[in-house]
Amino acid sequence: MDRIMECVPNFSEGRDLQKIDKIVASFRSKQGVKLLDYSNDEDHNRLVVTVVGEPEPLRDAVLEAIGVAVELIDLNHHQGQHPRMGAVDVVPFIPIRNVTMEEAVALSKEVGEEVAKRYNLPVFLYEKSASAPHRENLAAVRKGEFEGMAEKIKQPEWHPDFGPAERHPTAGTVAIGARMPLVAYNINLNTPSLEIAHDIAKKIRFIGGGLRYCKAMGVELKDRGITQVSINMTDYTRTALYRAFELVRVEARRYGVSIVGSEIIGLVPMEALIDTASYYLGLENFSMEQVLEARM
């Protein structure tokens, strides 16, 4: 592949393995497309797929997967800890090699227009592709979720960029756009109190006066009897992972709560982990050029 674009579509299904397999199959054995990773979470009831490819084959595979999800997922019967407004909740395109952000934006708009035409699905453009400033933040677009979108979409300021101004009866709506690489990073707490997790999330996220490139929310992990601060680091080069980890630790201390572990969902740039390792090891003047794999 000479020109590489990444796509990380999120689907609102994390429990039915047969449905998950059918969605993921859209990315398998496709010329010019490589499935890198997929992970499903039962508590979140969500599937996150990471795929790369040449722009045109990638576009076709994403459109196929969206069609499968629209056919299989009915949000009227969906429950999970993660906010969602669509069977295909969000479809971000990320430029990786020999493609520009402008090309990623153009591809997202092309896919959005085709999704609306093929599947009669309302499409909101977000992040770098947003048609207005109030649509850039995914959280603002998704606010109200599937249930609230029936009325929200009728408001002039929330008219979809493509497709009907009416929520799809089973598949809801979808956000499609272009953005920087994002790190999905979750920190687990040794408390079953969702209120505590929510409170910590409010304090560390940017909108609450916390870290600049950090979005966060509290999530309950019922099977384990604990809670989680679920985080999206929207620019790891500007706000490092270790800062989020340490700030959660500081805020948790006031409740007598400690961190019992953390996890990364999907793939993560090596630089993000090296930066964190360098901090905790106290390395001086360390750079990516000293990493063996980066020099090969």
User: Annotated catalytic sites, by residue?
Assistant: 82
Nearest Cα to 234, choosing from 141, 127, 133? 127
Give residue for tokens 């990516």. 288
Report the C-alpha gap between 26 and 6 in whole angstroms: 15
Give residue for tokens 């929510």. 198
Query: What sign has the CA pseudo-torsion 33, 36, 42, 47?
Result: negative
Report the C-alpha gap between 107 and 240 in whole angstroms: 29
Q: Tell me, rounded to whole angstroms, the distance of Cα 44 from its chain centroid.
A: 12
Report the C-alpha gap between 279 and 104 in whole angstroms: 33
Report the C-alpha gap between 203 and 207 in whole angstroms: 9
3-state DSSP assignment of residue 63? helix
Q: Is 295 exposed, middle or buried (0-12, 13-18, 19+ CB in 10 A)?
A: exposed
The tally of CA atoms less than 13 A away on the side-chain side of residue 103 is 15
